[in-house]
Structure 1
C-alpha cells in the first residue's frame, strides 16, 4: 500500500468527479445492473468487524453467505490514513449490504457517507432494486493507496476493483447473470474521506469517483 501527499483540494476533486460512473463495470450513472457487470462491494473473507451485525451505534454490515467482499490486507502506518481507509471499506460494504437487503433507504451507507457519496450509494441500490437484482460471488479490492489532501485535512483513498467473479442474481428466480472475463471487470475507485468533525467520531466518504475499464488494474 502506498502513501504520499497530494496538493489536490476538495474542490478540485469535486470537479474531477463531476461525471460519476456506476460501480458496475463502467458506463453512465443511469445504467442498470441488468445492462452491466454488477455493483456492490465488502475484507478478505470479510473480517468479523466488517461482516457481522452492527454493535452499539454501528450499523449492520452483514452479507449473505453467497457473497464475499475482499480487501487488500495491508494497512497504512499512519493512524489517520488507517482510520480513513477502514471507513472507506465500510462504506463499500454498506453499499453492498443495501443491495443485498434490497433497501435504498438502508441506514448503513448513510452512516458512512455525506453529500455526493450518500446520493451515489442510494442511486446504485435503487437501480438494483428496480431491476430486481441482488449480488452474489466475490468482489475484490486491492492495490490500495492513501494520500493526504493538503488543504482540507482529508484523505483520498484509491483502490482497484476486480469484479470478474461478481455477478447479479435475480431476486425472483435466483438466476445468476454470468459474464465473460473482460476489461469491464477492472475499475478504479477514488473516495475522498472527510475527517471527524465536532462530536462526529468517524471518517466519512464525501465524494466518490469510479473509473471503468482501467487497464492498470488488471492482475
Structure 2
C-alpha cells in the first residue's frame, strides 16, 4: 500500500496549520487501523524522564495492561522544553486512551490538544472505533529533539517511533492482527506544542505531522 513521505521544519509549522495524515503499521498488507488509518499511541503512566508538572485536574490516560508504551526520552534541562516533551507524550497516551475506551469524544486527548492535533486525534479514534479495532502490544518512542518556534513559547517536539510490536485487535473477537517488523514499523512524529490558555502548566499539541518508513529511526 502507498505511504506518504513527509518533511518537517519549524518554519513549516510556524507558517501553516495544515493537518497531514499518514498511514502507519507493522508491515502486513491486511487492512487494519495500524496500516490504513495512522496510529498515535499513549501510555499508562508517564516515564520518569518525560514526566512534567503534576496537575490535579489532569485527565486519566491509563491504558489496558496489555498495552505498554515506552517513552525513552532524556529530560531536558530547560523547564519549558521538559514540560512540552512530557505533554507531547501525554497527547500520545491520550490518543490511545480514546481508542482503548472506544470514545471519539474522550476528554483526555481534548485536554492535551487543540486545533489540527485535536482533529487528528479525533479522526484516528473514530476510524478505529468504526472498524471495530483497539490497540495492544508494545510501542516505543525515542530520540526526542526539541526546537523553539517563533517568538513565543511554542516548541517543535520530534521523536522516532518503533511500532514493530504494536498491533491492532478486534474488539468483538479479541483476534490480534500480528505483523512482521520492517521499515513500515519506523516513523517520526513532529508535534507543535504550546502552553494551554487554561493553564500555563499544561502544554497542548496544536499541530501534528507523521513521517512513515523513516530509515533514520531504524538505525
Q: When the two structures are superposed, what TM-score results if normalisation uses the length of structure 2? A: 0.83
Which whole-Å CA distance do the structure 1 matches of 2:214 and 2:16 have between them?
19
Q: Is the 8 A contact 1:59 1:108 kept in 2?
A: yes
Per-residue deviation at 1:135?
0.3
CA distance in 2, matches of 1:101, 1:70: 20
Q: Which residue in the other structure is 2:74 paired with?
A: 74
CA RMSD of aligned residues (A): 2.8
Gaps of 5+ in 2: 1-8
Query: Which of residues 8, 12, 35 in structure 1 aligns to 2:11?
Result: 8
Q: CA–CA distance in 2 between the matches of 1:38 and 1:192?
A: 18
8 Å contact kept, 1:102–1:125: yes
In structure 1, the partner of 2:22 is 21
- Distance across 2 between alignment mates of 1:18 and 1:37: 14
> 3-state SS of the aligned residue for 1:42?
coil
Determine the C-alpha separation between the residues in 2 that align with 1:170 and 1:25. 15
Aligned residue number for residue 163 of structure 2: 163
1:156 touches 1:193 (CA, 8 Å); kept in 2? yes
**Within 1, Cα distance between the matches of 2:105 and 2:201?**
22
Aligned residues: 204
Q: Which runs of 5+ in 1 are unaligned?
A: 1-5
User: Which digits, 9 at most, give the CA deviation of each residue in 1:89-147, with x for residues without a partner?
Assistant: 00000001001111000000000001000000000000000110000000110011111
CA gap 1:127/1:186 in 2 versus in 1, 3 angstroms? same
Shift of 1:205: 0.5
Residues 13 and 55 from structure 1, CA distance in 2 versus in 1: closer, same or farther, beyond 3 angstroms?
same
Distance 1:34 1:7 in 2: 27
Tell me, what secondary structure is at the counterpart of 2:97?
helix
Equivalent residue number for residue 97 of structure 1: 97
Residues 1:97 and 1:199: Cα distance change in structure 2 (over 3 Å): closer
- Which whole-Å CA distance do the structure 1 matches of 2:131 and 2:115 have between them? 25
Which residue is 2:6 aligned to? none
Shift of 1:180: 1.4
SS in 1 for 2:174: coil
Residue 88 of structure 1 is matched in structure 2 by: 88
Deviations 1:17-57 (A, max 9, x none): 553224x339xxxx8617449724136x844799xxx9831
